[in-house]
Structure 1
Amino acid sequence: MALPPSRTYIDVHILQTVPPANLNRDDQGNPKEAYFGGVRRSRVSSQAWKRATRTHFTERLPQQDLATRTRRIGGALAKRIGSVTDLNTEDANRLASALLAPLKISAGKQEGDTAYLFFYGRRQLDSVAALVKDRAAELIALDDEELTAEIKQLSVQKEFSTGHPMDVALFGRMVADLPALNVDAATQVAHALSTHAVELEFDYFTAVDDEQEKGEETGAGMIGTIGFNSATLYRYATVGLHQLVDNLTDEEAAVTAVEEFMTSFARSIPSGYANSFAHRTLPSLVAVTVRPDQPVNLVSAFEEPVTGSSGIAAASANRLAHEHTRILSKWGDTLAFTALCHTFPTTGDTAKLLEHTFGEALPFPQLLNGLRTHLTDTLKQAAR
């Protein structure tokens, strides 16, 4: 299998306006913030949006093709072993522990837990269980020393090191106790920042006790406050196609993974206080660029905060377009591909500027189709 002759990065730039919300809480329960350009900004951590993206995967893709992240891998493996053998729960747990022992993952505080979250593919766990499927009764009859010796002959580490699911290949995996199990992430996700200054606000709420005696009891059954803000966010992520191909060892699967990531990253949103704020929106703008040199985050467009009384989203889009053009011009960069989807009025100045900068505006499905075609051609040319 041939890799691209040079690095290939897919940069994703998104502008998304969110109404009053608390997408991602800090340790005080308020929306996360950051100072940038000398003013306070709304911030959503990269971890929060990666989690939202992975959750969106599960809504569209078969669970068995995806990964899960947990401290309870031992219990999960024991269930797999129990489902493919006749072992009772106690014996399945013993065999699972023996299979995981060569990985030397530190034990957690609770019995059966690992010290940290382990990110693995469900099919990988099935493959590990399959190693003992036909020998379970024989293995469980051995004493601990003999069982350990037999398990060492099995390819447990290999099963976790190959056949990575899409989300492990995209987001990577770190295992402090066994670096051989590490997977370099093909995707980097930036913290989302508001393009403008924000002020933290509070919602004072009360809840009524439906069963209180009318006329005899007054007052609220509960009183509280929730911090919130509203913002137009600049969101950025980049995918290294060359690293993704290396992680998946399959070029077509790598292109599909880019497409699935694009879909879920654009359509997902963190769910913090979703029932209180119903904050789900879709982006106003998605711009994609493919670069052969390095990823470029365009947040510098908003170092001077956007201001305006007639809306922030369009002004932010104009800033983004100008910054993109300026960077290309001053650094002499050449892009391999650009694509654009936006919801601004097609006859307005913003739409004209965006299309002059990123190309014809397309419906999102067409943007994905064009990107898939370009990446597929890139890999074919690399194979020649």
Structure 2
Amino acid sequence: MNQPHLFVEVHILQSLPPSNVNRDDSGTPKQAQFGGARRARVSSQAWKRATRTEYARQVPEADRATRTKRIATLLTERLARSTDKGGAGLDPEQADRLATALLEPLGIAKSAKKDDQSAYLLFFGKKQLDDLVAALDGRAAELAALPDDELKAEVKQIPVVQTLSTGHPAEVALFGRMVADLPALNVDASVQVAHALSTHAVHTEFDYFTAVDDENTEDHGAGMIGTVEFNSSTLYRYAVLGVHQLRDNLSDTAETRDTAVRFVEAFARSMPTGHQNSFAHRTLPHLVLLTVRTDQPVNLVSAYEKPVAGTTGLAEESAVQLAEELTKVGETWGNKPLRTLATYTAEKDKVTDAFGPSLSFPALLDALGALVGDWLDGGAAAAAGDCAEAGAR
């Protein structure tokens, strides 16, 4: 029996103090026009990077992914590593020659500017390079001694493309990979992340700063003078995880369940690091709402098409408008979420009515893991039913 698609949507409200977490080429905090008002914006790329970095902290180094132009260098290092450390024990020149031959089927050309780099970034798992060395089956020294033509012919018998097309680490399975020159290496992303927008209008401000020369005792002037732009905002953040696509990418139900939970935790706890030392802007969300659907994802940013204009704080009013929008979308389109799970601080009946009771964040993650596990085990109907003990609504 074919299971339906399963989408886990993450809606977050989070307030940032004066900060510049994501700036444009002129140093100005990124912005966007929405609902006729200028909003603070943090690009999806910036928050995906922050999420991936946060996620990587939860997994062992060997199981992590990397996005780099230095795949040839990394493979060369593994081939030159001693055999007792998982390498092939080649000298550096042999290792470089064999690495170049192994990567040729991938169409990875060297950069025109830097010989030690490829022409484009490749996203792959560190373990996949170890698997590639293992695929040589102890023949590394033999292969490295062959003339160029014979080496090229032998490399064709080694499953280079297959090795890098299977056994994906969770980060690649989540965020996907696109290789224009070799579609066989492409991985469909299971996660989509929206640009974060402030729920209200914002105005950019300027911090005028000076730095003192500690060794200058002759006058009282500043050693340096400058300005940095900043704003403060309550952001609506949105991401959607296609559990069905994640399962297809990982081919392991237990790992799919664990990865789904870790992604939600990493997305909620992550923070882009622009000007972090200057502003110490790291905060935690006011609200984390999970909506579970099997039909189609629904970004609820329309809740803020009319900007929030709170005078005694923005977070609680933003939560109320989000609750109203979730209710209206469900009633208008008839596609109410099958489940909602939420962690929040707002004390409003509208919020509780729309999202259900607030769970502690660890309890929300546990409930998500149980839901995804049931669905992966074939219990899609049970996962969509009412499970009050898991905080369902």
Moved over 4 A (4+): none
Matched, 1:173 2:177: yes
Q: 2:333 aligns with which of 331, 334, 338?
A: 331
The percentage of counterpart residues that share the same residue type is: 55
Q: 2:342 aligns with which of 340, 343, 353?
A: 340
Q: Residue deviations 1:183-236, cap 9 Å, x none?
A: 000000000000000001111111011111x2x233111111111000000000
Cα offset for 1:108? 1.6
Q: Secondary structure at the match of 2:8?
A: strand
Matched, 1:150 2:154: yes
Q: 2:358 aligns with which of 335, 338, 361?
A: 361
Cα offset for 1:66? 1.6
Q: 2:103 aligns with which of 100, 108, 111?
A: 100
Matched, 1:121 2:119: no
Q: 2:286 aligns with which of 262, 284, 287?
A: 284
Tell me the equivalent position of 1:85: 88
CA contact (8 A) 1:85 1:133 kept: no
Tell me the equivalent position of 1:375: 372
| Residues 106-115 or 271-280, more deviating | 106-115
TM-score scaled by structure 1? 0.95
CA contact (8 A) 1:337 1:374 kept: no
Cα offset for 1:131? 2.1
Letter in 1 for 2:99: A
| Larger relative contact order (Cα-Cα within 8 Å, sequence gap ≥ 6) | 1
Cα offset for 1:7? 1.1
Partners of 1:273 and 1:256 in 2: how far apart? 32
Q: Residue deviations 1:328-383, cap 9 Å, x none?
A: 00111142211010123xxx3x2x22221111110001011111111111122269
Q: 1:48 aligns with which of 46, 49, 63?
A: 46
Q: Residue deviations 1:75-107, cap 9 Å, x none?
A: 001111111122111111111111100011233
Cα offset for 1:63? 1.7
Cα offset for 1:262? 0.4
CA contact (8 A) 2:88 2:133 kept: no
Partners of 2:149 and 2:221 in 1: how far apart? 67
Partners of 1:106 and 1:80 in 2: how far apart? 20
Tell me the equivalent position of 1:256: 258
Tell me the equivalent position of 2:297: 295
Partners of 2:142 and 2:108 in 1: how far apart? 26
Partners of 1:58 and 1:376 in 2: how far apart? 22
Q: Secondary structure at the match of 1:381?
A: coil
Letter in 1 for 2:303: A
Q: Residue deviations 1:45-68, cap 9 Å, x none?
A: 011011001111222221211210
Tell me the equivalent position of 1:7: 5
Partners of 2:16 and 2:190 in 1: how far apart? 28
Q: 1:205 aligns with which of 191, 204, 209?
A: 209
TM-score scaled by structure 2? 0.93
State the superposition RMSD in angstroms.
1.4
Tell me the equivalent position of 2:390: none
- How many pairs align? 375
Q: How does 1:125-140 map to 2 (within 5 A)?
A: 125-132=129-136, 134-140=138-144
Matched, 1:76 2:80: no
Partners of 2:89 and 2:259 in 1: how far apart? 37
Q: Which runs of 5+ in 2 are unaligned?
A: 82-86, 382-393
Tell me the equivalent position of 1:24: 22
